[in-house]
Amino acid sequence: MHVQMHVGAVCLPYVSIPLRKKMEKWRVFSIFIFFLYFPQVLLVQLHASEEYARQAPRPIIVNTGHHDRSESDPQQVHISLVGKDYMRVSFVTSDKQVPSTVEYGKTPGSYEASATGEHTQYTLFTYTSGKIHHVVIGPLEPRTTYYYRCGGSGPEFSFRTPTSTLPIEFAVAGDLGQTEWTASTLAHIGAMDYDVLLLPGDLSYADLLQHRWDSFGRIVEPYASKRPWMVTHGNHDVESILSYPEAFKAYNARWPMPYQQSGSTSNLYYSFDVVGTHIIMLGSYTDFDPESDQYKWLFADLAKVDRSVTPWLIALLHTPWYNTNKAHKGSGESMRKAMEEMLYKARVDVVYAGHVHAYERFTRVYDKKEDPCGPVYVTIGDGGNREGLAMSYEKPSPSISLYREPSFGHGRLRIVNNTHAYWSWHRNNESDSNVGDELWLESLSSSSACVQTSNGQESPSKFVNDEL
């Protein structure tokens, strides 16, 4: 371990032998105490042991609280889609007496409707969370701005519901964390309009330090209180160690997603529909083998997809199945082997992953080979976390990898109509962002070459050209 090596290498030239022995004991003891109280350091060090060079990360920003908010005021407000025409409003209050209510309406300051939801709280080591409220409101009208207030007092927020007719625009950002790069990515996301944000895992990088979840909630609030944020988990959201085996405690308490509505039994994988698009959120850090609940749920979920209603089929997961970066090479292989065929046969259009802190886009792929009926794979783990960028790639670039760049940024998927969508990747510049990669996609549901015939046999394929 790095820390041990460092402490062990300290030179003590002027100290007597017995005193040295005593100091040695203290050193061992202090290392033990250090890891007892800061187990996340051990995790971070283990994580960092995968060797690759990364561009200098930017400083961590920690938002410790709002000076203009009282104990009873809501903080960390974020919203998520929950079934058709409903929204879940999530917020935290320090004051435990605050009711789990949300008042809302279409005019600022005048709330014609209100709803009461549920609340939770959790403890982890010496940390006790605030009161975490989740309130489902609706039915709501499409593409409409609603003004809302949480817990009966405090500041007014507003959000806009997604459109009910195409086009629709998704912002996609993975591995966000909370650094100055994160702030830059968020500013660029907020500067251009979008309907729904999709996050393929690794949210706060709390790594067991729970106040970092609170800080993350405050940092994303200006964006996540305005547009629904739909997330799946990454390895940094697991937060399980030997002395504390209950995984996903903070993630599940703070970021509940509409899993019941999609027939899933776990917040770790679910799906949802939003105009013309069926989106599947998979879990890389929960069971995915053919005997698992996730596998069976995915099979059933894909069987229910009606491409005449949702011509677009998108999947998100954390650990990429296709990756030519040296970082996390092969990490997604067991999940790919278990689930790739299901996604291929369902004619999934695009699979987004995070985990590798860089951007990469593949051609349509199945079973490691170019295939006109396979999904386009995109790695977008470049949101801005404290670990920095994954700089080194396999050389030469395999032919299935079409674009790769280790820069921070975010993506945009604009579903224009039933057949065409425009994907763009925007790298962060100092004060603005610019397009690094772009691509017109044609939905596989509209491809006569890939659509399956009624007897389940595929018709002979011809090449589908997605390039600009």
Of 131 and 357, nearer to Fe ion (C-beta) is 357
Q: Is residue 239 at the binding interface for Fe ion, with CB under 5 A as the rule? A: no
Contact between 234 and Mn ion by CB under 5 A: the answer reads yes
Report which residue's Cβ sits closest to Mn ion: 355
Beta carbon nearer to Fe ion, 87 or 390: 390
Asked if residue 221 binds Fe ion (CB under 5 A), the reply is no
Nearest approach, Cβ of 43 to Mn ion (angstroms)? 12
Within 352-371, the residues that bind Fe ion by CB under 5 A are: none
Burial level of 455, CB count in 10 A (0-12/13-18/19+)?
A: exposed
Nearer to Fe ion, 44 or 464 (CB): 44
Site string for Fe ion, 195-214 (x = CB under 5 A): -------x------------
Q: Which is nearer to Fe ion, 175 or 437 (CB)?
A: 175
Question: By CB under 5 A, which span of 15-23, 173-181, 192-200, 220-228 interacts with Fe ion?
Answer: 173-181
Tokens 């971070």 appear where?
44
Cα separation values, 391 from 56, 174, 305, Å: 10, 17, 38
446 secondary structure, DSSP code: G
What minimum distance in Å lies between the beta carbon of 71 and Fe ion? 33
Q: 290-303 in b/e burial notation, b at 16+ Cβ within 10 A?
A: eebebbebbeebbe
Q: How far is the CB of 331 from Mn ion (least distance, A)?
A: 9
Site string for Mn ion, 177-216 (x = CB under 5 A): -------------------------x--------------
Give how many residues touch Fe ion by CB under 5 A. 2
67 catalytic residue (yes or no): no
Least distance (Å) from Fe ion to the CB of residue 207? 11
Site for Fe ion in 27-66 (CB under 5 A): none
SS3 195: coil
Give the residue with the Cβ less far from Mn ion, 199 or 450.
199
Question: Which is it for strands 168-172 and 196-200: parallel, antiparallel or unpaired?
Answer: parallel
| Catalytic residue (one of 188, 328, 355, 426) | 328
Is residue 71 a contact partner of residue 153, using CB atoms and an 8 Å limit? no
Stretch that binds Mn ion, among 38-46, 63-71, 132-140, 229-237 (CB under 5 A): 229-237
Q: Which of 73, 103, 169, 175 binds Fe ion (CB under 5 A)?
A: 175
Residue 103 as a binder of Fe ion (CB under 5 A): the answer is no
Nearest distance in Å: CB 145, Fe ion: 33
> How far apart, in whole angstroms, are the C-alpha atoms of residue 337 and residue 367?
9
Q: Which of 233, 157, 231, 159 is nearest to 194 (CA)?
A: 159
Interface of this chain with Fe ion, residues 406 to 425, rule: CB under 5 A: none
Q: From CA 276, how far away is CA 309, in angstroms rounded?
A: 6
Residue 314, Cα to own-chain centre: how many angstroms?
Answer: 14
By CB under 5 A, residue 331 contacts Mn ion: no
237 in contact with Fe ion (CB under 5 A)? no
Could you say whether residue 233 binds Mn ion (CB under 5 A)?
Answer: no
Closest listed residue to residue 343, CA positions, set 305, 311, 309, 375: 375
Residue 46: CB minimum distance to Fe ion, A: 14
**What whole-number distance in Å separates Cα of residue 467 and Cα of residue 365?**
15
Q: Kind and range of the H or E element at 188?
A: helix 180-191
Binding mask 352-391 for Mn ion (x = CB under 5 A): ---x------------------------------------
User: Rounded to whole angstroms, how far apart are CA atoms 280 and 352?
Assistant: 10
* Closest among 324, 174, 315 to 234, alpha carbons compared: 174
Smallest gap from residue 202 Cβ to Mn ion (A)? 4
284 makes contact with Mn ion (CB under 5 A): no
Number of residues near Mn ion (by CB under 5 A): 4
Nearer to Fe ion, 85 or 180 (CB): 180
| Residue 85 falls in which region: left (phi positive, over 0), alpha (psi -120 to 50) or beta | left
**Residues contacting residue 112 through CB under 8 Å, at least 6 positions apart:** 105, 106
- State the nearest-atom distance from the C-beta of 29 to Fe ion, in Å: 33
Using the minimum distance from each CB to Mn ion, give the nearer residue, 234 or 276: 234
Q: Check residue 235 for interaction with Mn ion (CB under 5 A).
A: yes
Please answer whether residues 118 and 84 qualify as being in contact, where contact means their C-beta atoms are separated by less than 8 angstroms: no
Neighbours of 33 (CB within 10 A): 10
Please give the C-alpha separations between residue 34 and each of 10, 27, 29, 123, 285, in angstroms, as whole numbers. Answer: 17, 10, 9, 21, 27
Binding residues (CB under 5 A) for Fe ion: these are 175, 202
Active site residues: 328
Binding residues (CB under 5 A) for Mn ion: these are 202, 234-235, 355
